[in-house]
Structure 1
Amino acid sequence: MSRTLHLALSAYGVGGPGQHGLWKDPRVPSNASVDINYYIRQAQTAEQALFDAYFIVDSQFINAGYPAHYLSRLEPLTLLSAVATHTRHIGLIGTASSTYNSPFNLARRFASLDHISGGRAGWNVVTSFDTGTSRNYGLDEHLDYATRYGRALEAVEVVRGLWDSYEEGAFPADVERNLFLDPTKLHALDHVGEHFRVAGPLNLDRSPQGQPVIFQAGVSEEGRTLAAHVAEGIYAPGGSLAQSQDYYADIKRRAAALGRDPDHVVILVGASPVLAATDADAHRLSRDIFEADNDFDRKLGFLGRSFGAYDFSGHDLDAPFPDLAHLAEKGGRTRGLEIVRHAREEGLTLRQVVETVTEYEPSPFTGAPDTVVDAIEQWFTTGAADGLNLRFRTHDDLERFVADVVPSLQKRGLFRTEYTGDTLRANLGLPIPVNRYTREREPAAAQA
């Protein structure tokens, strides 16, 4: 096949969204979210199965009602730097907010991870939709949606500019000529924009993959626009097969319209496979997993996250759903506005909204191993995804997928049987970016 399926592992410790009760599972250590050895073991298992990447999600605001994993977890780049020293091939993708980090700091941290890992780093660019994060950074209010995305686009441009501070061969380290640095290959950025003023240069050489890979998860119009402009990898929202096909086609079309090669935008759909000996057993297990977390008060509390961590507990559950569209603007706008619209159109109460948005819906990747392989192949071959960003409740579940699904994907020619390169870019089939100053110099040299 001309295309190759890509697989990434999204790692949680004691339970992320939809896994609130996972900390009770005896197979999961109670300190898993802060135990680096737990993460290293997961990454090594994924690497042995030839996964493309290991992904760490993050946020910077909590309250007592957040999932157990959110309450105490390691900072992504610190975590991934440790994992890098215990792996050789798997990509290492960390989440960091463009809203609450400076571009210079981001550029240096991710470039450092890229060097530590030998060219395996990726940055998942987020704008932060937890409104309370602002108060952790000395701001009274969260930035509005348009400002956050405008800032994100400029931040990526600045970071990429800083990553180009040194051209290839900038450090000859020639003792005989007493020349450690070739100063003609060092460049200040001198960026002055709407949101940032950054002089540069970055004090770190280019890595084997040129620049870390940029990832993004864009659902809204602004998010999709940002993804089409800057993303080399995208974490897609999922949903039904048809919805995923529409999203896939839209992002690829937007990238092409901007003059980008759509094949250089790798779209990974979030997936939580549930495997068992038979389809019926897998669906029973899937339902049991849902019921274990089916707590109304917990779901009511977590609903507020789409509205800036709003507390719904003071509302009458059987009164019409309150119009909180103004709060969604500075929170998870796409999700929040959809909830408000649906509640208004259907005349739903608060109780009904909670029940509707959290109703049971099995993963499309639920069943016996062959059933799951069939589903993955269908999503891959019909233009719904370039791969999957996989989430598993326990390490046992990951190992079962590796043992029962990966070999079948390989037999069908869908998935690699060995790593084809030493960097994240190589394994994703992405080109090494040409340094902007080298690119400018080459036409001038040819003309001369």
Structure 2
Amino acid sequence: MVPQLLSALVHLYDRDSVLHQTIGADSADKISSIVTLLDSVDIQSRPAIINTINGYPLEISLGSYQQHTQHLMSENNQSLAQLFTQYLQRSLPVGYEAYVEIVESKPAPHIMGYKHNHPNIEMQSLNNNPQSALLIKSFHVQIELKDGMWVDFHYFLPKKIFEWPARLVIALLALMIGVLLLTWVAVRLVTKPLSTLSQAAEALGKNIKSPPLEVKGPTEVKLAATAFNTMQDRLVKFVGDRARILSAVSHDLKTPITRLRLRLELLDDKKLSNEIKGDLDHMEKMVNTTLDFMRGTEKHEPRQKVNLEALLESLQEDFRVLGMPFEVYGKVDKPLHIQLVSIKRCLTNLLENAYRYGNGEVSVEIQDHKETVEIVIYNNGDSIPDKDLDKIFEPFYRLEESRNNKTGGTGLGLSIARNIAIEHGGSLRIENASKGGISAYLILPK
């Protein structure tokens, strides 16, 4: 495209140069012939001859003295004036001297198609008022005849022939539009497989059993799609094997726990029985929570439209019964398309953590944004060291390192909550509140 435009500019520049040379040589011959003719007749006959010759593009007038004009000329005009002077001096008989300049002038009304009684035109420099009228470039030539009279020539250059050819401009525009369209199509064809691969990778992060990619297109695209599908098959097989192993472990762990509970009933020492029962309850809770966390990718709950405010009101009532009240602020304008059980579990984990590590003051705020809904759960507990704000989402990580079941949970609550948020295309983060305490930010797409 660029070489085509450059070649067109070079062509137009060369064309203008050739036109100037051709018009200059032709004008010089005409002026030379007119000067020779005027010098060969008497003074009284000259006006009649001039009136006969006068007419666009050549305007002629006689005077008794040389008109001293001071028109500023550009470099290009100066070059044209020098070239035209050379043409004139070659054409004129010996003894004549031509004074040449290139001017931008207002044409006389009769030049523009109106009647005018005077053949002369009023010259105006381009610098005087370039916007006042249509300006035409002309050769201004003054030559002294043998009897002392001066003849003044204005040879107007036809402006139209120096303009860009309409067909060339249309062809270049059509070429540019065509190249841009073809480029856009080519870029779309090249980037479409990358976009498809990106969408498939994002879908895989939300649902490991998402449909495989179609193996089609160029060889490189087919290889990439095949590799992606192979990776997905291996991940599905790995997760499936893990689920089956965990199901077996679950059975093997729950069976001895059940036997221990039965044997616990035979103990006469109630104090010891209660202590062992507490340990068994904690052990069973840890096993169930761990298995739920590991099986999280295997459960695919269907999504449904859920009124978030109603869900929080339901949790508010459940927690109130347990002696853990909290207030809800804000509202959302429309239902969310979510997995009800999963989001309820996510909110329950966050609220339980807020009460477990807070000092009794818990609140929930709903912030409705254009494309997302943000749920902020605040508690007035102690702040978390900055170095631990990311670590608390790691499985089994606890700020309280004693692992005492009376001072903390299993260390999986936040991990499960974050996995649920990510599966919904959202996010979960924990921050220290500016007013003291801790805030959990659960962000869900609308």
- TM-score by length of structure 1 reads 0.17
Bigger relative contact order, structure 1 or 2 (CA pairs below 8 A, ≥6 apart): 1
- Which structure features the higher share of helix residues? 2
Where is the strand percentage greater, Structure 1 or Structure 2? 2
